[in-house]
């Protein structure tokens, strides 16, 4: 039997789409590690940062080095926007943001062609998954594309316009996944803008709460403007929905937010976060932050630091601004020195440590529910419903959700299972 290896870069949407491809590849080929010699290599690409593009180049070269005669397929966002560049000159099959349902068929037939649509389809591409490879959580894509056009972002060009899946199909897929996975993470490029006619995200969440066997529903990321009162009220009333919202802020300064073309002011963001915390006091609110955006002076960056202190995120994913050709921000004046951007990342990470610890301290000597993801000789590990990574004494079954009493939050969050 021929072998294949897979490398997944980028977001949870890529992970979901790669899982669909893996499920179908396994019907024809045997999967091996990417470091091993394989007959076929599949690389799911990302275009959000320059680092992701560099990794794509690296893995293409590694695949060709591992087996010069191998068949290499590059799939996804970077493939969509750079298909005709030297990045992919040593690739046999290039697939963009459409046609992922045809990948396996093309590989089986060894068609040496490219599938990059000049105009990305306006229809949602259903990639139905029957089982996720892990026994813990599974991702479920409900939406694709973006209409927002933030000035720094290439995604509307690589993923196309906003479109949503049929809610009947999504619920059916969720029922199948719930047979093997206790937690489902709803994901998309703009998850909060899910829209199937009159059927919105709130209705989808409400119906998912009725699925037998499904214990936790988590939202992967959602914009502050998309968290309506109905969603908050449902989170209050139904403990199946995880008390964690990842709400990208991108900057905590109004001047930079305007340059970024973000649809809110920092006051509007803070006011909404305050309301959410008032309604759900123990909720984890995390965020994405870009530092070193064009024209971000020391003063504007200090505004961001001060607002971070005021908001008090449970954790921050912080990135240095990455210049992307074809975006509005790329053409702006006032680009920041890479050394300054690197230092600003460090400053945010150092500041954030105390707020992460402060949030974890709220749960000291309290009980949380943890999804077990892995174990070693003496401990098990997993995330709580508030997305706190927890180390638990003893060996516990992967994929189970157990009650854990938090006993220490100093260096890492540790606890014991409540019997």
Buried b (16+ CB within 10 A) or exposed e, 321-332: bbebeebbbeee
Per the structure, the count of domains in the chain is 3
**Residue 55 and residue 57: Cα distance in Å, rounded?**
5
Determine if the pTM surpasses 0.85: no
Q: Is residue 255 part of a domain?
A: no
- Write out the two tokens for 15: 């992970």
Residue in this structure with the two tokens 């893996």, named with its chain if needed:
22
- Write out the two tokens for 240: 């199946």
The pLDDT > 70 percentage for the chain reads: 94
* 300-320 pLDDT tens trace: 999 999 999 999 999 999 999
Q: Is residue 306 part of a domain?
A: no
Q: Is residue 225 part of a domain?
A: yes
* 21-73 pLDDT tens trace: 888 889 889 999 999 999 999 999 998 888 888 999 999 999 999 999 899 99
CATH no. for residue 404? 2.40.50.140
- Do 23 and 105 belong together in one domain? yes
- Do 94 and 167 belong together in one domain? no
Q: Is residue 248 part of a domain?
A: no
* 74-132 pLDDT tens trace: 998 888 888 778 888 888 888 887 777 778 888 877 644 555 556 666 676 666 677 66
* Residue after which a domain boundary falls, among 184, 218, 242: 242
- Do 203 and 173 belong together in one domain? yes
Residue 340 buriedness (CB in 10 A; 0-12 / 13-18 / 19+): middle
The mean-pLDDT minimum among 88-92, 194-198, 352-356 falls in 88-92
CATH no. for residue 63? 3.40.50.12160
Q: Is residue 284 part of a domain?
A: no
List the domain range (segments joined by +) for residue 106: 3-115
- Do 156 and 65 belong together in one domain? no
Give which of 386, 392, 387 is closest to 408, Cα–Cα. Answer: 392
Which pLDDT value is given to residue 157? 83
Q: Is residue 48 part of a domain?
A: yes
* Residue after which a domain boundary falls, among 210, 242, 274: 242
* Residue after which a domain boundary falls, among 87, 115, 143: 115
CB atoms within 10 A of CB 402: 18
- Do 150 and 238 belong together in one domain? yes
Q: Is residue 361 part of a domain?
A: no
Q: Is residue 358 part of a domain?
A: no
């Amino acid at each position: 039997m021929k072998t294949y290896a897979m490398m997944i870069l980028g977001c949870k949407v890529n992970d979901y789409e790669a899982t669909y491809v893996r499920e179908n590849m396994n019907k024809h080929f045997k999967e091996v590690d990417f470091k091993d010699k394989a007959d076929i290599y599949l690389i799911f690409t990302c275009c959000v940062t320059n680092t992701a593009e560099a990794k794509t180049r690296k893995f293409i070269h590694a695949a060709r080095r591992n087996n010069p005669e191998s068949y290499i397929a590059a799939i996804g966002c970077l493939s969509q926007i750079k298909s005709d560049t030297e990045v992919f000159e040593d690739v046999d099959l290039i697939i963009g943001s459409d046609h992922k349902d045809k990948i396996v068929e093309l590989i089986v037939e060894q068609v040496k062609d490219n599938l990059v649509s000049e105009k990305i389809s306006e229809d949602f591409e259903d990639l139905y998954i029957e089982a996720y490879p892990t026994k813990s959580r599974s991702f479920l894509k409900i939406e694709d594309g973006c209409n927002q056009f933030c000035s720094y972002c290439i995604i509307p060009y690589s993923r196309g316009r906003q479109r949503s899946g049929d809610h009947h199909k999504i619920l059916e897929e969720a029922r199948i996944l719930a047979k093997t996975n206790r937690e489902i993470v709803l994901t998309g490029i703009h998850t909060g803008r899910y829209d199937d006619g009159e059927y919105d995200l709130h209705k989808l969440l409400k119906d998912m709460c009725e699925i037998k066997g499904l214990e936790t529903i988590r939202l992967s990321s959602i914009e502050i403007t998309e968290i309506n009162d109905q969603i908050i009220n449902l989170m209050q009333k139904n403990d199946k929905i995880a008390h964690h919202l990842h709400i990208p802020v991108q900057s905590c300064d109004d001047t930079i937010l305007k340059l970024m073309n973000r649809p809110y002011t920092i006051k509007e963001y803070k006011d909404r976060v305050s309301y959410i915390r008032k309604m759900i006091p123990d909720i984890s609110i995390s965020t994405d932050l870009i530092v070193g955006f064009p024209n971000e002076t020391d003063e504007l960056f200090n505004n961001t630091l001060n607002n971070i202190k005021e908001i008090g995120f449970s954790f921050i994913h912080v990135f240095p601004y990455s210049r992307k050709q074809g975006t509005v921000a790329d053409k702006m004046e006032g680009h920041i020195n890479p050394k300054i951007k690197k230092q600003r990342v460090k400053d945010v990470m150092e500041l954030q440590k105390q707020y992460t610890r402060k949030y974890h301290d709220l749960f000291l000597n309290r009980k949380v529910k943890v999804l077990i993801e892995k174990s070693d000789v003496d401990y098990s590990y997993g995330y709580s419903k508030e997305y706190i990574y927890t180390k638990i004494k003893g060996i516990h079954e992967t994929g189970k959700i157990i009650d854990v009493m938090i006993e220490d939050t100093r260096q890492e969050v540790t606890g014991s299972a409540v019997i």
